Structure 1
């Protein structure tokens, strides 16, 4: 896909976005560019002969949202296009945007001179610097891990209620209710047959009901002892109930806590848990190296969407990719049962790619530093990461 951009096309995309604030930054950049000319930067494109200065730059562009977003009308938007268009406008460059879908192929195109420049969220690594050059970083990122948001099965939630401790506590409680019920029936049946009948099951049943009401301090009053021995048993049971209730509440609270907070035993909580797991990565990205470093089983896919689809098909345990991209993906798909792990695998500097000894290097570095100083880089990134900008 090729998009041809000229200087006059710039405001058709940018005029509705922070135009007032950016104009101030552009003026400062223009002054810096003029200073470059004055000190004899003969290799700057602005100082080349007219036939060379008018040359249209072959600019590759790649990345994933929010760094690169294709709008409904086919234009490129996102963090990278916004930053690049600002830089190109200030330097007076005309260019063709050529979409790059594979990272390694795009880097090779820069190394061979097929592309004058490659813009996108490309990690600056020692291995890549052996073949191509990078600009000053325009964004600091990190590798994150996308994981399924798995809820424990029903049995996992109720299993704490069936542990030996929980069952033994309930068993002891039932035995106590049975003993108190029998005791109340034995001492009350002759003197209080209306409330504790002579029939064993009915009488003991009423006695256990009395014990349960007393235990819970509900106090219905439908059953009460009349004999001294009955009142003695009831008094002792009341004192025992104070301890029994406290123990029961403590046990139930622990069971509820376990039931609601219990995670699967194989949950990935830190980078060390990646060992032996199946991690999907995008071919040509730094995720490959870090997945191997943490001894995960690497499964390569050509795109982020393909990697996520692999995980959703239960053929991978997670996806390793740039954290901002993963978080943006989830913000655009809030109904997916996915989450980004709480840890990062590394910290990465992202920059644009160009050949060594490129005359574009110095003006690009100066422009990026100036945009960082006036806050444009931060504002642009925040607008896209927070979803404040809509596709046109």
Structure 2
């Protein structure tokens, strides 16, 4: 009898718990129980300017809420500690849904649920533009190969002028109005060759003319060698600079900066890239500017918007894509909100209204909104 009573109490407990949950679910989104919407502040997905929220994720949520006649309240969140945000959503009643650049991952799926994706993003790397500065060019110019060629040019030039002077210094320059003008001395000859636009004293002896022809051939060969060597060294320097941050192998050697708690950091480490964790994008930029890291791992649209907003023309997004990334709304496990959110996202994608919305914030990347 006691066992029966205990079983009945247990059944009644579960029955009333389920009924209470269903009642709360029906009431969720009402004035009495507005939906607690956590907003991760990262453009182009979400921002808060003087209490006015906007962005791709915010605009999509506003439309879904309007379709379902939901009452809701925005709660600004920082993406610096996503683990804390996920834990709050999963284990407390402070949040019912989280919107913004929320990436889907297997680890997060163990404790929370996700809507269908509304944006196909990618994990990329912010890098310096591959432009060689004056110090890089100076380093190339003082390389051993170029120095050897320049020394050969100077010695051959000195030899040419010396031989020319030996054969012609006693001769009178032909073609001058005053035939008594003597051939210039060696110092004057060097001065005339280096600084005078037009050479007035042409060789008059056969030996001098032969030496002049040989000098023209040798000088052309040396200048060609200098140009080829400099071009080759410049190409190699650009390749090495680009390879350091423009290839997966280079990033694996040099490392990147990443914001603590971001999904991007997990992706970078999964690809074998050492990550220096920092608190925000400004700290990561400082490390990049000091060449402490080769780049900054970031969600690609977030990176593009940041560079555009801050006019960082010296930085760009590397062509390396570490991983494709699905951006969704995060909800509690078995949340009654998920199905309604999925219906809203699907209907917007079916009538092609998501792409124009995205174009407002992303520009040319807008086609990636439509899955």
TM range (shorter): 0.7 to 0.9
CA contact (8 A) 1:66 1:384 kept: yes
Q: 1:81 to 1:49 in 2, by over 3 A?
A: closer
**What does 1:118-157 correspond to in 2, within 5 Å?**
118-148=98-128, 154-157=134-137
Pairing 1:65–2:65 present: no
* 49-58 or 139-148, which deviates more: 49-58
Deviation at 1:208, TM superposition (A): 4.6
CA contact (8 A) 2:98 2:329 kept: yes
CA contact (8 A) 1:181 1:209 kept: no
Deviation at 1:48, TM superposition (A): 4.7
In the alignment, what sits opposite 2:352?
Answer: 375
Q: Equivalents in 2 of 1:236, 1:384: separation in Å?
A: 66
In the alignment, what sits opposite 1:37?
Answer: none
Partner residue of 2:300 out of 317, 323, 328? 323
Q: What TM-score do you get using the length of structure 2 for normalisation?
A: 0.75
CA contact (8 A) 1:290 1:345 kept: yes
Deviation at 1:95, TM superposition (A): 1.0
In the alignment, what sits opposite 2:166?
Answer: 186
Partner residue of 2:87 out of 97, 103, 108? 108
**Cα offsets for 1:315-352 (capped at 9, x unmatched):** 66543221111111111111475433221211011100
**Cα offsets for 1:263-298 (capped at 9, x unmatched):** 559832222333354543333321232233244444
Deviation at 1:84, TM superposition (A): 0.7
Q: Equivalents in 2 of 1:365, 1:51: separation in Å?
A: 16
**What does 1:154-193 correspond to in 2, within 5 Å?**
154-192=134-172
Q: 1:123 to 1:265 in 2, by over 3 A?
A: closer
In the alignment, what sits opposite 1:353?
Answer: 330
Pairing 1:205–2:184 present: no
Deviation at 1:212, TM superposition (A): 6.6
Partner residue of 1:363 out of 312, 336, 340? 340
Helix, strand or coil at the partner of 1:347 = strand
Deviation at 1:184, TM superposition (A): 1.9
Q: Equivalents in 2 of 1:313, 1:232: separation in Å?
A: 56
CA contact (8 A) 2:146 2:226 kept: no
Q: Equivalents in 2 of 1:283, 1:240: separation in Å?
A: 61
Q: Equivalents in 1 of 2:29, 2:270: separation in Å?
A: 50
Deviation at 1:125, TM superposition (A): 1.4
**What does 1:217-232 correspond to in 2, within 5 Å?**
220-232=198-210
**Cα offsets for 1:163-189 (capped at 9, x unmatched):** 232222222222222222222222222
Cα RMSD of the aligned pairs, angstroms, is 3.6
Pairing 1:233–2:211 present: yes
Q: Equivalents in 2 of 1:360, 1:162: separation in Å?
A: 67
Aligned length: 333
CA contact (8 A) 1:181 1:205 kept: no
Partner residue of 2:66 out of 89, 92, 97? 89
* 56-65 or 131-140, which deviates more: 56-65
In the alignment, what sits opposite 1:99?
Answer: 76
Q: 1:168 to 1:106 in 2, by over 3 A?
A: closer
Deviation at 1:314, TM superposition (A): 6.9
**What does 1:42-61 correspond to in 2, within 5 Å?**
48=26, 55-61=33-39
Q: Equivalents in 2 of 1:287, 1:52: separation in Å?
A: 36
In the alignment, what sits opposite 1:386?
Answer: 363
Helix, strand or coil at the partner of 2:323 = coil
**Cα offsets for 1:51-71 (capped at 9, x unmatched):** 979742222222311211111
Structure 2: gaps spanning 5 or more residues:
1-20, 174-180, 365-371
